[in-house]
Amino acid sequence: MSESFVVTVEPLGRQVVYRGDQTILDACLRAGVWLPHSCTHGTCATCKSEVLDGDVDHSDASSFALMDFERDEGKLLTCCATPRSDVTIEAEIDIDEDIEMAPVEDYLGTLVEKSEIAKDTLRLMVELVRDIAFNAGQYMKFTVPASQSGAAVDRTWSIGSPPADSRRLEFHVRMVPGGRGTAGWVFDGLAVGDTFSMSGPYGRFVLHTGEDNHTIMVAGGTGLAPIKAMLRHGLKHAAYGGEMSLYQGGRSREWLDDVDYFTALAREFEQFTYRPCLSEETAEEVAADGGDPTAYAYGMVTDVIAADHASLSGCKGYLCGPPLMVEAALKTLMSKRLFPRDIYREEFFNAGDKAAGLNSPLIKR
C-alpha cells in the first residue's frame, strides 16, 4: 500500500491528502485546489513553487525549468514532484474569482473521427462516456497505451470545442517525428472505435467572458485548438460583447487548418475578424495556384499585427502556439501598448523540449 502524506498549500491553508504515484499538482487539482500550471511535464516552470516544510522527490523535472541552485533553495515543480513526507508548499494563487475551475477527474474516451486538417495535423473527435465540465481553452491528458515502442505515457492536447459540447470533444494533434504519442500512436495505430483513458480538465489559459475588451488572438500550429474553443464559446455560447480578432500564422496554406471554418464564422459574426497569415507563400503564388490572394495576409503574423494596429491600448491578448511564436507575439503586443497583465498566453511544449531547455525570458516563471 502506498504511503499517505498531507500536502498543505499556502497561502490558502488548504490540506490535500496525497496517496499513490500522483504528482503534487495532480493531487491538488483533483481535490479542487487550483495550483498554477501549464505544460504539466516539467518544462515550462509555470508551476514553480516553494517548499516551506518537508521533503520532496523532484523526479524528472528539467534542469532548465528547475535549476540545481533552485532545488537547493527549496523550490519545486509541482507537476513533477512527489512528497516523501508531509509537505507544506507556497504557490502563487492568482485565478480570477469569476472563473469557476472544475476539479480534475478521470474519463474514458472513444475515438469517433480522425481526419487530416493540415500538413502533419490531425483532428480527433472523442466521445466521453459522461459529461465533463471545463472552461474554453483548457486541455486534457491522454494515456498513450503501452506498445512495442515503449511503456504507457501521458500526453496533453487542448480541447478545440466549447464547454457546451460537454461529451464530444475536438482535439488538433501535430506530428512530432519520433514522438511516442504522435508518431507512435495517434498517427500510426489509433483508429476510430478505439477507447483510451483521459483525465482533465487542466490549464489556466481560459477565456475571460466577464471582459468586453477588443480581444486579439494569435495562434500558431495546434495552438489554434484552444483559441477555436474560446471563439466558439465567446461568439455563440457566452455573453461576450467585445470584438474578437484572430491572427493565425503558418508558413503556407497547407499548414493552416480550419481556414474555411473561420472565414464562414467571420461572415456570420460582424464582431469577429479573421486574418490568416502566410510567412513563406506570396500572393502571386496563391493566385498562380488558383487561390484568392486577397483572403490572406503576408509576412510573419507579428508583422501583420503591427501593420494593422497603431495601438492596442485597452485590448486583451490571447497567445498560443510554439514558444518562439508566443514570445515574438508578446513583444509585438507590448510594443503596441498592451500591458503584460492584459495578455494571456500558453506555450506548446513537447517532450523533446525538456531536453532542449526551451525557455522564454518574457513569460512569468
Residue 106 CA to residue 287 CA, distance in Å, equals 49
Does the pLDDT of residue 1 top 60, yes or no?
no
Same domain? For 139 and 233 the reply is no
Here the CATH number for the domain that contains residue 180 is 2.40.30.10
Residue 362 domain-assigned (yes or no)? no
β-bridge pairing 56-57 and 14-19: unpaired
- Domain span at residue 144 reads 105-202
H-state helical runs in the chain: 24-30, 68-72, 224-232, 259-268, 283-288, 301-308, 323-335, 351-356
pLDDT of 78 reads: 93
**pLDDT 10s digits, 120-159:** 999 999 999 999 999 999 999 999 998 766 788 999 999 9
Burial, 140: exposed, middle or buried (Cβ in 10 Å; 0-12, 13-18, 19+)?
buried
Here the CATH number for the domain that contains residue 55 is 3.10.20.30
Residue 361 domain-assigned (yes or no)? no
Residue 297 domain-assigned (yes or no)? yes
**Boundary-marking domain end, from 31, 62, 90:** 90
Same domain? For 197 and 221 the reply is no
pLDDT of 58 reads: 87
Same domain? For 329 and 248 the reply is yes
Residue 208 domain-assigned (yes or no)? no
DSSP 178-204: T-TTIIIIITTT--TT-EEEEEEEE-S
Residue 203 CA to residue 158 CA, distance in Å, equals 9
Q: Report residue 5: phi and psi, to 5°.
A: -130, 160
Does the pLDDT of residue 352 top 70, yes or no?
no
**pLDDT 10s digits, 179-191:** 999 999 999 989 9
Same domain? For 85 and 124 the reply is no
Same domain? For 140 and 169 the reply is yes
Q: Which of 207, 205, 226, 204 is nearest to 215 (CA)?
A: 207
Q: 153: helix, coil or strand? A: strand
Same domain? For 57 and 140 the reply is no
In this structure, how many other beta carbons lie within 10 angstroms of the beta carbon of residue 93? 14
Cell representation of residue 179:
514522438
Structure confidence at residue 239 as a pLDDT band (50, 70, 90): low
Residue 365 domain-assigned (yes or no)? no
**Boundary-marking domain end, from 29, 63, 90:** 90
0.75 surpassed by pTM:
yes
State how many domains the chain has: 3
Q: What end-to-end distance do the CA atoms of the chain give, in Å?
A: 36
Q: What is the mean pLDDT of the chain?
A: 89
